[in-house]
Amino acid sequence: MRLRRVLLIVLLVGGFWFVTSHLPEQLSRMDLLNTAGVSRSPLALTEAHASPAYDADEQNNIAVYKKALPSVVNITSKSMTYNFFYGQVPQEGQGSGFILDRAGHVLTNFHVIADANRISVRTSDKRDYKATIVGTDKMHDLALLQITGQNLQPVTLADSTDLTVGQKVYAIGNPFGLNGTMTRGIISSIRSIRGPEDAPIEDAIQTDAAINPGNSGGPLLNSRGEVIGINTLIASNGVEQSSGIGFAIPINTAKAVLGDLTKYGRVRRPTLGISSLAIGPDIADQMGLAAGSGVLVQRVSPGGAADRAGLRGGNQQAYLGNQPILLGGDLIVAVDGKEITDNGDLSTIMDKHQPGDTVSITFYRGRKKLTVNLTLGEGRGVNT
């Protein structure tokens, strides 16, 4: 009787061992056969034993990002607008900017903070600051802000004079609210464009690096992580997203106005004290002018720089198409010996001067070529 019990226990233990050890293996083998009779191989993954090394190009991308990111900020501007029923409605806009110094000066685009009654700045480590406006330059689409904080990381500014088409560039900003986004491309061209206020931006940097809404005011960087421009515009053809054609204001333009913004809160813009009309070869020939190009003085502001230097405006009413013009004024062809072919040339030269500087003006009065010295005045919102 006792022997039977022992045998029964042995059989039960042996059966349990067989079921748990061998039956799943047999079932697994059967499961490897699908309904079509095709066998399935077990899944075998090949994994790297170590992280792959970055190539030289990737290492440079990473270095640029790590260097510049702590200096790039997200800017949120809040303003009040009116709805259809003339009720006040809060409106919020976003853009980018970058820290210029440890004192907390931040550079961005004017259109990012235009009409804002409250501006906040968030750094890459998610610290939030209230910002105040130090000064604005609407014509160049620049704004200088101020925040107060500890351990702020300023950018390094490059020289944008000798930029070359084909040069590698990087854009870091806040496109569509996606903080800390970096894109890469090249300089596609250096050209003059019209800014948001229809004012000329000379030597604007065209790039195919993706620039989208929210990138405005952020830095355009060279391969050393130095700022060469301020991202400001995209050619969208009606679609507000990157089309591979973006534009940045050259950083040297910003350098030229930062002193005035810090000191005066505005840009002290030099002026000749004239209104003028750009003249090309065809129009010059029709008017019988002595030179094929230049700017024709239409009017001289009484008591202004040109008036004091003896320049004359036009006195004969005429029409250029449907546009009324004045003939008979002086034709300016050079400033400080540099040829003037249109108002853009004149604006470029004015941007390099301050009110009170003396320049030489070469012009034609009729067929007579003259040169006078002129002390530049100060204008508001104009370059001539």
Length of the chain: 384
Crossing angle for the helix pair 23-31 and 2-21, to the nearest 10 degrees: 30
Single out the catalytic residue among 111, 188, 208, 351: 111
Single out the catalytic residue among 137, 141, 330, 345: 141
**Is residue 111 among the annotated active site residues?**
yes
3-state secondary structure of 384: coil
List the structure tokens of 91.
Answer: 């409106």
For residue 9, give the DSSP letter.
H
Do 305 and 374 touch, CB atoms closer than 8 A? Answer: yes
Do 313 and 298 touch, CB atoms closer than 8 A? Answer: yes
Would you list the DSSP string of 43-66? P-----SSPPPP-HHHHHHHHHHH
Smallest Cα–Cα separation from 208: which of 232, 195, 189?
Answer: 189
CA 211/CA 19 separation, integer angstroms: 65
CA 209/CA 183 separation, integer angstroms: 6
Do 384 and 347 touch, CB atoms closer than 8 A? Answer: yes
Do 378 and 269 touch, CB atoms closer than 8 A? Answer: yes
**Is residue 243 among the annotated active site residues?**
no
Single out the catalytic residue among 96, 160, 188, 216: 216
**Is residue 21 among the annotated active site residues?**
no
Query: Which residues are known catalytic residues?
Result: 111, 141, 216
